[in-house]
């Protein structure tokens, strides 16, 4: 059994009540949102602050929070509750997972190298031989760019790296990396599906490449409709039409 605090805008009070009940049925102890008994304008400032502090106290007592973010909406008050839960190292679950793309800055340089090593070291060794830290650092330094590159944030957590290049005719997925602990959750599939949808809406084909030794990634792309149109010594080149 877990103690779970509900968080969400009062405009979703029906949904909050529904999921609070559902979580209770699953054997949890749920601390929910107080339903207003009068119009917001009739509450005094002290009363509003009491309700806010009371909800934060619920978070203190909880193992995790459940955020009802219907249609991706999270108001400022709920954002504050989420940040508070993070500061207390509480588990956070969202009704709807949020994927955001944040432009890369020079401050993300080390994260880019770290995620490359975590996700590609095994495949690089199978393709080119043993990982050489000095050589890989030097190569990364030369190839690093912030152009067309984005951090992948999942529920406000930095979990991936995306490089995407779009022209009048195509959308090229140059690189997509997801931290190992967040793989298998459908995040990469969702991102690629959205890119395919965008390509079809704009009559553009989508292309990417995958190392030949990365059979799992190749199978995923083929399931999504990509087909090999070319190959070289190390990579398969795949594309899907945007028609």
Burial class (CB in 10 A: 0-12, 13-18, 19+), 168: exposed
Does the domain at residues 99-240 carry the CATH identifier 3.90.1010.10? no
Provide the pLDDT for residue 155.
81
Q: Which helix (H) or strand (E) holds 209?
A: strand 205-211
Provide the pLDDT for residue 242.
64
**Digitized pLDDT (tens) for each residue of the chain, 243 residues in all:** 999 999 999 999 999 999 999 999 999 999 999 988 888 889 999 999 999 999 999 999 999 999 999 988 899 999 999 999 999 999 999 998 889 999 999 999 999 999 999 999 999 999 999 999 999 999 999 999 999 999 999 887 899 999 999 999 999 999 999 999 999 888 999 999 999 999 999 999 999 999 999 999 999 999 999 999 999 999 999 999 865
Does this model's pTM top 0.95? My answer is no
Report the C-alpha gap between 98 and 163 in whole angstroms: 19
Do the Cβ atoms of 112 and 144 come closer than 8 Å? yes
Can you spell out the DSSP letters for 94-112?
ESS--EEEEE--GGGHHHH
Provide the pLDDT for residue 72.
81
Report the C-alpha gap between 26 and 13 in whole angstroms: 20
Provide the pLDDT for residue 39.
86
Query: What are the extents of the domains in the chain?
Result: 3-94, 99-240
Beta bridge partners of 4: 30, 64
Does the domain at residues 3-94 carry the CATH identifier 3.30.460? no
Provide the pLDDT for residue 168.
94
Listed in sequence order, the DSSP H helices in the chain are 13-25, 45-61, 76-87, 109-128, 133-143, 187-201, 215-223
Report the C-alpha gap between 194 and 62 in whole angstroms: 35
Q: Which helix (H) or strand (E) holds 178?
A: strand 170-178
């Amino acid at each position: 059994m877990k103690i779970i605090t509900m968080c969400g805008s009062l405009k979703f009070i029906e949904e909050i009540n529904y999921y609070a009940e559902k979580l209770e049925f699953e054997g949890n102890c749920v601390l929910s949102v107080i339903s207003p008994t009068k119009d917001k304008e009739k509450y005094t400032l002290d009363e509003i602050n009491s309700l806010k502090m009371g909800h934060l106290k619920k978070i203190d007592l909880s193992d995790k929070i459940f955020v009802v973010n219907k249609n991706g909406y999270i108001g400022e008050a709920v954002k504050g509750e989420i940040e508070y839960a993070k500061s207390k190292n509480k588990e956070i679950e969202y009704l709807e997972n949020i994927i955001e793309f944040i432009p890369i800055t020079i401050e993300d340089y080390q994260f880019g190298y770290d995620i490359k090593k975590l996700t590609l070291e095994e495949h690089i060794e199978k393709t080119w031989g043993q990982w050489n830290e000095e050589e890989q650092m030097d190569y990364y330094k030369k190839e690093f760019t912030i152009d067309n590159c984005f951090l992948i944030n999942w529920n406000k957590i930095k979990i991936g790296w995306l490089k995407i290049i779009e022209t009048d005719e195509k959308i090229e997925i140059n690189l997509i990396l997801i931290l190992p602990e967040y793989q298998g959750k459908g995040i990469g599939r969702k991102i690629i599906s959205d890119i395919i949808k965008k390509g079809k809406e704009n009559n553009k084909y989508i292309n990417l490449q995958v190392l030949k030794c990365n059979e799992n990634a190749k199978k995923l792309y083929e399931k999504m409709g990509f087909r090999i149109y070319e190959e070289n010594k190390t990579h398969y080149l795949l594309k899907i039409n945007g028609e």
